Chains A and B, each alone.
Chain A
């Protein structure tokens, strides 16, 4: 049994062995979050001392882009760094920090400008950021979406947390409820990561949905070609669907995949903290794994993964269905009203809008993505 998620629990659940660590000096990964938080190198060192004995790892972030002040470490900043370096073990890691920004700056926009201004960047980016789609102008949404296209054209893999509101909920004019998609999770050009829990929270067992796992359909971006078949299959076969007025069934559907998002241990300000949850936890875990896949691809002289969604949605038809554990049990939350009674979508076979294709079975995923 275990008392919460640590790197060894994650590596055990996703079948990562001691040999699944980075070997190349010129591979790299990065995390970014925009809550003006700092992380402390000393926390990372302590975290690795406590939890990193079963695998080779770096104990230091190699590069911090932006301000790194001297304030208290933030929970989210600490979590991002500690877990991307646990699955993306022994890989050079950058942190994009916006603490101490100019008071009229938009931190997320500033990060996008950095991507457009740096010729050498890590290949994989884990980003804990999300806003309600309906709180952003269409000009902004469309332009930011083009920025993600630019990143994909350069071979960057950009992952976003799917959010912690389940399907979300808002009241539309007239008083009815509808689900509330999150952005950039709803961009067709990013890889969006949902969340799961262990079926038995104190054992390394199968996973079920984490009820907070963000997921649904964009009201702005049409469904991209690469996921039409998978989503159509879900909409056709789902045992139970919310009323169609609650979501845009022709919109970009997300998440794309998921990982554990419940009850993490994090070291922050020298103190190990339990019960830390959210898709901000699952996103760096997946990001680290994809950085490790890049490590192997680069060793073979292959290109890095780049925008991974087309490959991800082809895995099953190419006979690599085992690359992901299919999470088929549980639903996520949504509007508390008579129509949906707090329930959004429910997980089902193959792709679903709660956990996507499921959670990584690393060795099989590696084999599939090396092909």
Chain B
């Protein structure tokens, strides 16, 4: 198979504690980013509608017009749907632009669908996530139809931008809390 995200780190960030592999029937939710069409045209259009010097400045698209521009090709939709159905995946929903699919399935099905992946639970504070510490692959003939699969490797955001800056103040020894303001 092909690894769409070979360069995506799979290690859990600091603080997330492995809590074992989930059971085969455990429900996981995957987000498939389907290959879009018309991205080059989209870039040209964005430039035209965003530049005050352009005659088309402010002529924005509706969601339907955007869909007509970027929606995946029929071949992409057919290939992906056939692949999912081949693995018994039925519970999927799409978005208005048809370029994402969100599917629920048992972990065992997901691991067959995405060879290499293994779904484990990780815990941190009161939070729990299910991720794969191993890279996933997709069949070769799917590579031109799927950008990536979400829900496997990226952990929830840790950046509490506000408190970190504050925490930074806390962490700097010897610096009284208010000194930065002073």
> A: which residues have CB within 8 A of B?
4, 34-36, 75-76, 79, 101-110, 112-113, 116-119, 128-131, 135-140, 142-143, 146, 149-150, 152-155, 161, 163-164, 189, 201-202, 212, 225-226, 262-263, 275-281, 302-304, 306-311, 314, 371
B85, chain A: closest CB distance, angstroms:
21
* CB closest residue in chain B, given A309: B50
Contact status B162-A104, CB under 8 Å: no
Contact status A116-B100, CB under 8 Å: yes
Q: Which of B61, B119, B159 has the most chain A CB atoms inside 10 A of its CB?
A: B159
B80 interfacial contact with A, CB 8 Å: no
Contact status A155-B49, CB under 8 Å: yes
Given known contacts A146-B36, A149-B42, A306-B58, A34 and B161 CB-to-CB distance under 8 angstroms: no
Contact status A280-B62, CB under 8 Å: no
Query: 12 A–B contact pairs at CB < 8 A?
Result: A76-B160, A105-B29, A117-B95, A136-B154, A150-B42, A150-B70, A161-B161, A201-B181, A303-B57, A311-B50, A314-B52, A314-B53
Contact status A113-B162, CB under 8 Å: no
Which A residues are in CB contact (< 8 Å) with B49?
Answer: 152-153, 155, 306-307
B151 interfacial contact with A, CB 8 Å: yes
Contact status A102-B29, CB under 8 Å: yes
* CB closest residue in chain B, given A283: B161
A351, chain B: closest CB distance, angstroms:
18
Contact status A280-B161, CB under 8 Å: yes
B75 interfacial contact with A, CB 8 Å: no
Q: Which of B52, B119, B156 contacts A310 (CB 8 A)?
A: B52
Which B residues are in CB contact (< 8 Å) with A106?
Answer: 31, 150-151, 154, 156
Contact status A105-B151, CB under 8 Å: yes
Which A residues are in CB contact (< 8 Å) with B8?
Answer: 136-137, 139-140
CA distance A108 to B37 in the complex (A): 23
Contact status A153-B33, CB under 8 Å: no
Interface size (B, Cβ < 8 Å)?
Answer: 71
Q: What total of A-B pairs shows CB separation below 8 Å?
A: 200
CA distance A66 to B156 in the complex (A): 16
B113 interfacial contact with A, CB 8 Å: no
Contact status A119-B96, CB under 8 Å: yes
CA distance A49 to B117 in the complex (A): 52
Which B residues are in CB contact (< 8 Å) with A303?
Answer: 57-60
Which A residues are in CB contact (< 8 Å) with B9?
Answer: 135
Q: Which of A116, A278, A314 contacts B162 (CB 8 A)?
A: A278
Contact status B96-A117, CB under 8 Å: yes
CA distance A36 to B57 in the complex (A): 37
CA distance A368 to B93 in the complex (A): 43
Contact status B5-A164, CB under 8 Å: no
Contact status B154-A164, CB under 8 Å: no
Which B residues are in CB contact (< 8 Å) with A36?
Answer: 127, 156
Given known contacts A105-B29, A146-B36, A153-B45, A276 and B7 CB-to-CB distance under 8 angstroms: no
Q: Which of B96, B97, B148, B182 contacts A143 (CB 8 A)?
A: B148
* CB closest residue in chain A, given B110: A104
Of residues 44 through 100 on chain B, the ones whose CB sits less than 8 Å from some CB of chain A are 45-47, 49-53, 57-64, 66, 69-70, 95-97, 99-100
Which A residues are in CB contact (< 8 Å) with B130?
Answer: 103-104
Which A residues are in CB contact (< 8 Å) with B181?
Answer: 4, 201-202, 262-263, 275
Of residues 163 through 181 on chain B, the ones whose CB sits less than 8 Å from some CB of chain A are 163-166, 168-169, 177-178, 180-181
Q: Which of B39, B127, B154 has the most chain A CB atoms inside 10 A of its CB?
A: B154
Contact status B5-A137, CB under 8 Å: yes
Which A residues are in CB contact (< 8 Å) with B96?
Answer: 116-119
Contact status B157-A108, CB under 8 Å: yes
Contact status A280-B58, CB under 8 Å: no
Contact status A152-B50, CB under 8 Å: yes
CA distance A4 to B43 in the complex (A): 42
* CB closest residue in chain A, given B69: A153
B172, chain A: closest CB distance, angstroms:
11
Contact status A104-B29, CB under 8 Å: yes
Which B residues are in CB contact (< 8 Å) with A102?
Answer: 29
Contact status B61-A153, CB under 8 Å: yes
CA distance A108 to B159 in the complex (A): 13
* CB closest residue in chain B, given A74: B160
Which A residues are in CB contact (< 8 Å) with B166?
Answer: 275-278
Which A residues are in CB contact (< 8 Å) with B148?
Answer: 137, 139-140, 143
CA distance A2 to B159 in the complex (A): 29
Contact status B165-A153, CB under 8 Å: no
CA distance A253 to B162 in the complex (A): 23
Q: Which of A117, A163, A309 contacts B159 (CB 8 A)?
A: A163
Q: Which of A108, A113, A280 contacts B102 (CB 8 A)?
A: A113
B111 interfacial contact with A, CB 8 Å: no
